[in-house]
Chain A
Amino acid sequence: MYDFAYHKPSTVADAVKLLADPDAKAISGGHTLLPALKHRLNKPTALVDLSGIAELRGIRREGNAVVIGALAKHAEVAASAEVAAAIPALAFMADHIGDVQVRNRGTIGGSVSNNDPAADYPAAVLGLGATIRTSKREIAADDFFLGMFTTALEPDEILTAISFPIPEKAGYAKMRNPASRYVMAGAFVSKGPQGVRVAITGAGPCVFRQADMEAALAANWSADAVAGIKQAPDDLNSDIHGSAEYRAHLVTVMAKRAVANAG
């Protein structure tokens, strides 16, 4: 790892000022960034540790939404009574990210800002039609995930919290890579204030909505409704872990399981 200066501001305003330096980078749980820095994939001259910023903490109910602060660790979301009561599928998803130690450090803000094509959270954010709150504005999930490791966030913009509208039903299912634990293909389905949504992660270069499955579930909310819908393999990922055709097949299987899990 190359050396860097380390800053630990205690307010969002101070963190934004430090991030005005184009060679500075934010760090939350560090469970994506530090492995990348060890492999010298990135060379920031300064790291701005967000973990001391109290305003980024907390999980709370706000009207018909659950609002989760950017610093909430996966283990905290998994154990939150608030989340379990309102959106159990979200607690289940958080409880199945990586391993215990990853969940003890990794944060929702880091995961969603990073937008790894094989990450879990982007599926929940898009599949529930959440709103991303930042140091500057609010961004709808549909406008946030732009491509592989790319989001609508600007370099000096900090994700502060995510507001999840409470659905009537929601479910998640994924096939994990047995070695890395990252998602090979995962589906987050929901029915609620924003209609029926189906978000697919792991399979393509970026999380995406599956329109055919959404239409089928809107007409008939059942696992059978998606069972016959085939995902085209054209734009999906193909690598040593699985071909695009294999992932396309998994998309249907995972969508079926997600609907079954939603009840």
Chain B
Amino acid sequence: MPHVTLTVNGKSHTAEVEGRTLLVELLRETLRLTGTHIGCDTSQCGACVVHVNGDSVKSCTTLALAADGASVTTIEGLAAADGTLHPMQEAFREYHALQCGFCTPGMVMSAIDLVQKNPQGLSEQEIREGLEGNLCRCTGYHNIVKAIAAAQDVMHGKRSEIARAAE
């Protein structure tokens, strides 16, 4: 069987895969990084979003072999070694941006890519458009949008900590 070598959350891995193995299957089943979810078979829901070489991609629609040599970041790679959450994770918690949590890993990965690629800052409408590839069946999106708006201020250095959600 063919081999794939890639860096996941800063650590190098080599694994045996089939031609048809998807990146999400390699992450979940071989590397046991089960934070990345699979929510559909039509490439529409975004529960599987990870970063590949700095871009958010749907790992259910990427072959593992096509990620050979790539650097991948998953939801498990965000928090600091001491457990301090990434500002986006912290904002999702503060703003109640999740209910069942199934969509959350993909939402957080998409949101971080969106904020990083838009240093000028995003309006509410732009945040909504940037989340078109992520479906949430619980929250109605409002709190997700608020969380991302709060996190971008911290990620761009405009505030030192996540603003508290209004009661």
Residues of A within 8 A of B (CB): 1-6, 8, 27, 30-31, 34-35, 37-39, 46-47, 49, 51, 75, 98-102, 104-105, 179-181
A31-B133 contact, Cβ under 8 Å, with A6-B2, A104-B56: no
A105 interface neighbour in B19, B61, B114, Cβ under 8 Å: B61
B20 at the interface (CB under 8 A from A): yes
* Identity of the chain B residue whose Cβ is nearest the Cβ of A33 in the assembled complex: B61
A-B pairs under 8 A by CB, number: 75
Q: Which residues of B contact A98 (CB under 8 A)?
A: 132-133
With contacts A3-B19, A35-B43 known, is A101 near B66, CB below 8 A? no
Complex Cα distance, B132 from A3, in Å, reads 31
Closest to B4 in A: A6
B62 at interface by CB-CB < 8 Å: yes
Which bracket fits the contact residues of B? 20 to 34
Determine the main DSSP class of A at the interface with B: mixed
Closest to B50 in A: A101
Across the interface, which residues of B come within 8 angstroms of A34, CB to CB? 22, 43, 61-63
Interchain CB contact under 8 A, B41 and A39: yes
Chain B residues with CB under 8 Å of A102's CB are 43, 58, 133
Q: A27-B63, A105-B61, A181-B132 are in contact. List 10 more A-B contacts (CB 8 A).
A: A34-B61, A38-B41, A39-B41, A98-B133, A99-B132, A99-B134, A101-B49, A101-B56, A104-B56, A105-B58
